[in-house]
């Protein structure tokens, strides 16, 4: 699994988990992993692009990253709320929110992902999974967050 496929899988898991209460997110992740172990049917394949069934190492990597993001959700959502002038986390579309959560996690907590890569990959995900205006929205929020990060150092 490439880094991009990993990121896309994490995004999808966060997106699906966003439809349940926070205390049910871990169970939702387990259910998502179960479905990702299987060959996608034709309809899922169109949605999943070049996804393949996961091996154990990939599954563990995804599970670990999603669990880490869920653990940091209050801090991540706080960063998003602070940067999203006129918006709250509750009002942001679920796909955009999942992308923002993943990107903010990568920006602040994943030392393997450079800041610019996290932002660029989030914008790319928004081009695939969101409406036309989402890319500017996601880029703007992450730009504000990264500006704050750089001014704090």
111 vs 150, higher pLDDT: 111
Please check whether residue 17 is in contact with residue 32, taking contact to mean a CB–CB distance below 8 angstroms: yes
Single pTM value for the model? 0.82
Confidence (pLDDT) at 131: 87
Q: Looking at the predicted structure, is the pLDDT value of residue 75 above 90? A: yes
Structure tokens at 39: 């060959």
Please, where are the H alpha helices in 49-133?
A: 56-71, 73-83, 94-108, 115-129
- With residue 151 as reference, give the H or E element that holds it: helix 134-152
What mean pLDDT comes out for the span 45-74? 77
Q: Looking at the predicted structure, is the pLDDT value of residue 80 above 60? A: yes
First to last CA, the chain: 34
Identify the DSSP state of 105.
Answer: H
Q: Looking at the predicted structure, is the pLDDT value of residue 152 above 70? A: no
Confidence (pLDDT) at 46: 41
Q: Looking at the predicted structure, is the pLDDT value of residue 86 above 70? A: yes
What the chain holds in terms of domains, given with CATH numbers, is 3-152 (1.10.940.10)
What mean pLDDT comes out for the span 29-40? 61
Confidence (pLDDT) at 29: 66
């Amino acid at each position: 699994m490439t880094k991009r496929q990993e990121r896309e899988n994490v995004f999808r898991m966060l997106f699906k988990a966003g439809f349940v209460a926070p205390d049910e997110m871990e169970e939702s992740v387990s259910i998502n992993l179960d479905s990702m172990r299987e060959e996608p049917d034709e309809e899922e394949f169109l949605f999943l692009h070049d996804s393949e069934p996961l091996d154990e190492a990939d599954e563990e990597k995804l599970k670990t990253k999603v669990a880490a993001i869920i653990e940091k959700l209050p801090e991540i959502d706080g960063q998003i709320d602070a940067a999203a002038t006129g918006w709250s986390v509750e009002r942001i579309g679920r796909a955009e929110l999942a992308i923002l959560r993943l990107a903010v996690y990568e920006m602040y907590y994943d030392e393997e992902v450079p800041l610019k890569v996290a932002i660029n990959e989030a914008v790319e995900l928004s081009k695939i999974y969101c409406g036309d205006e989402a890319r500017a929205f996601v880029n703007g929020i992450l730009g504000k967050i990264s500006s704050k990060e750089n001014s704090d150092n």
